[in-house]
Amino acid sequence: MSTPVIELSGVAKRFGGVVAVRHVDLALFPGEVHALLGENGAGKSTLVNMLAGIHRPDAGAIIVDGAEVTIPNPRTSRALGISVVHQHPVTFPDLTVTENIMLAGPAPRRRTRLLDWGTARRHAREALARLDVHLDISAEVKHLSAADQQLLEIAKALDTGTRLLVLDEPTAALSTREVDRLMEIIARLKADGVSILFVGHRLNEVFALADRVSVSRDGATVVTGPAHEFTPESAVGHMVGRSVETAFPKAEVELGPARLEVRGLSRRGAYTDVSFTVRRGEILGLAGLVGAGRTEIARGLFGLEPADSGEIVLDGAAVSIGSPQQAMRHGVAYVPEDRHSEGVVLEHSIGFNLPLALLERRPRLGLLSPQADRALAGDYIDRLRIRTSGPDQLLGALSGGNQQKVVIAKWLATDPSVLILDDPTKGIDVGAKAEVHQLISGMAERGLTIILISNELEELLAVSDRVITFYRGAQGPEFDRRPFDAEQVLAAMTGQVSDVHV
């Protein structure tokens, strides 16, 4: 093999007393896709930030073209040919697409040092065209969807001087179609001799792409080798240091009577004529691409954006749900997609967060009782096996998986009979995922009616009793026999079949 584009040798980084990266060796060669796997907390993001010039290593060396370099800031990193797509988009919501692309690189200037807007707009159009995405370049970024923001992020990173492209879990917010496009682009860049470091934990993507795989655990690379020497199971084994199931096997549950029935539910611009029935103890999966209307249906059922027409029937009686308060009174709970902005307050403790959804029915003499809150928190910490130092720990200090458990616990505390989960394992570890699946399965066993939305088809098919597909707001084929045929479900949710005989 030729000489590496970039080599990390014995790199280490600590923050205060916490060792984020203990010892990482990594060589990235031209024209290779190198996958870096690891659980949250394995030091992946710190590593990415060192390449991006955001953190500087305390020990070890970063070697570019055989010479040791220091990367004091992100601009130096770019100048060295390193482009980083961070896990969370690094965007300026109030500025336009053009401006966001312009601010990422050397800005085009006229001889007067004033900005050359014409060239800036051309650059922006070219950057988007390279990725084959269509965005209004003069739109403010806050008006773009999460997926478009992620695409913008990738477009920003792809300029002609890129020698190493670092993708930190780039597909989290993307739909299948966009992931496919990204894969094509990666293949093209690879052919051009660009080195690609793909950081992630969606294993099927990784194995479709990677030439080599490195696994990091507790801040150190534990194994590096050609991709074909790994299986998903062995990779996960290295990540967690033991062998685990990637998905918890679903328990067989005796289904009860119909609990929730939806008839002809429509909301303009979101979904039309949606009808289904869910029984007690049943897990109904809603499959579809991002933007297929699944989240909107969930929000409709929870009264956040009530449907324009149609009927919601609970236990045989038609109800009207015009606000979350009404939904909660009817026993409907909704765990939103974005736990950071809609689910919980990270700056507060578990004991503060857990009873948040209860506020309406609980006050005694109008006063809250901190003791009761802590007891409630303690109870759920045990039941859901939330790993924490106790009810007083701040939520922000927990791992993603444990934060998600707190969000679910918050809604379980309202004692719902219908629980809607919107992408409940987004951005959490493989190990924690299996635990959330187990939790969902256990809730169904106790008779809860569950509606599950997930952008990971694999997860949806593993956990659900029944799957309904949606394509651009229209209800598509339904699959009610396990095990599901992933190919058929995928075809239905990408609108390539109007009717499937199952």
Partner 1 sequence: MSTSDTRTAPAPALPESRRRIHREAGLGVVLVVLVALFATLTPRFATGDTFAQIGTDLSIVLIVAVGQALVLFTRNIDVSVGSTVGLTAYLAASLTAAVPGLPLVLTVLVACLLGAALGAVNGALVATLKVPSIMVTLGTLYIFRGINSALAGSSQITAQNLPDSYSAIATGTVLGIPLMFLYALAVAGLAHLVIRHTFTGRAMLAVGSDPASAERTGIASKRLVFGAYTVTGLLCGLAGVLWGARYGTVDSSVATGFELVVLAAVVVGGVRITGGVGTVGGVVLGAAILSVISTGLALADVSPFWLQAIQGLVIILAITFDLVLRRRLESRGVST
Q: What's the CA gap between 459 and 453, in Å, rounded?
A: 10
Question: Bridge-partner residues for 272, per DSSP?
Answer: 474
**Token pair recorded at residue 354:** 């857990």
Nearest to residue 81, comparing CAs of 71, 91, 89, 90?
Answer: 71
The full 3-state SS of 218-269, as one line of letters, equals CCEEEEEEEHHHCCHHHHHHHHHCCCCCCCCCCCCCCCCCEEEEEEEEEECC
Q: Judged by CB under 8 A, does residue 56 bind partner 1?
A: no
Q: Which residue's CB is nearer to partner 1, number 49 or number 414?
A: 49
Please state, as a whole number, how many other Cβ atoms lie within 10 Å of the Cβ of residue 446: 9
Q: Are strands 418-422 and 6-15 parallel, antiparallel or unpaired?
A: unpaired
Which member of 3, 323, 389, 496 binds partner 1 (CB under 8 A)? 496
Cα 281 to chain centroid distance, Å, stands at 27
Q: Which residue's CB is nearer to partner 1, number 54 or number 222?
A: 54
| Shortest Cβ 95–partner 1 spacing (Å) | 6
DSSP per-residue letters across 272-315: EEEEEEEETT-EEEEE--TTSSHHHHHHHHTTSS--SEEEEEET
Number of separate helices (H) and strands (E) present in the chain: 16, 20
Contact partners, residue 350, CB within 8 Å, separation at least 6: 377, 381, 386, 388, 390, 391, 392, 393, 395, 398, 406
Q: Judged by CB under 8 A, does residue 86 bind partner 1?
A: yes
Stretch that binds partner 1, among 84-92, 159-167, 204-212, 380-388 (CB under 8 A): 84-92
| Shortest Cβ 217–partner 1 spacing (Å) | 26
Q: Which residue's CB is nearer to partner 1, number 139 or number 345?
A: 139
Q: Which residue's CB is nearer to partner 1, number 55 or number 259?
A: 55
**Site map 132..171 versus partner 1, x via CB under 8 A:** -xx-x-xxx--x-x--------------------------
Q: Which residue's CB is nearer to partner 1, number 113 or number 446?
A: 113
| Shortest Cβ 90–partner 1 spacing (Å) | 4
Stretch that binds partner 1, among 73-81, 196-204, 210-218, 397-405 (CB under 8 A): 73-81
Q: Which run of H or E residues covers position 420?
A: strand 418-422
Please state, as a whole number, how many other Cβ atoms lie within 10 Å of the Cβ of residue 450: 22
Q: Judged by CB under 8 A, does residue 340 bind partner 1?
A: no
Stretch that binds partner 1, among 11-19, 131-139, 209-217, 350-358 (CB under 8 A): 131-139
Q: Judged by CB under 8 A, does residue 74 bind partner 1?
A: yes
Which member of 26, 102, 127, 398 binds partner 1 (CB under 8 A)? 102
Q: Are strands 466-471 and 449-453 parallel, antiparallel or unpaired?
A: unpaired
| Shortest Cβ 75–partner 1 spacing (Å) | 4
Q: Which residues inside 178-207 make contact with partner 1, applying CB under 8 A? A: 180
Q: What's the CA gap between 417 and 501, in Å, rounded?
A: 32
Q: Which residue's CB is nearer to partner 1, number 54 or number 227?
A: 54
| Shortest Cβ 360–partner 1 spacing (Å) | 30
Q: Which residues inside 426-485 make contact with partner 1, applying CB under 8 A? A: 472
DSSP label of 87? S
Binding site for partner 1 (CB under 8 A): 52-54, 73-78, 86, 90-95, 99, 102-104, 107, 109, 113-115, 117, 133-134, 136, 138-140, 143, 145, 177, 180, 291, 472, 487, 490-491, 494-496
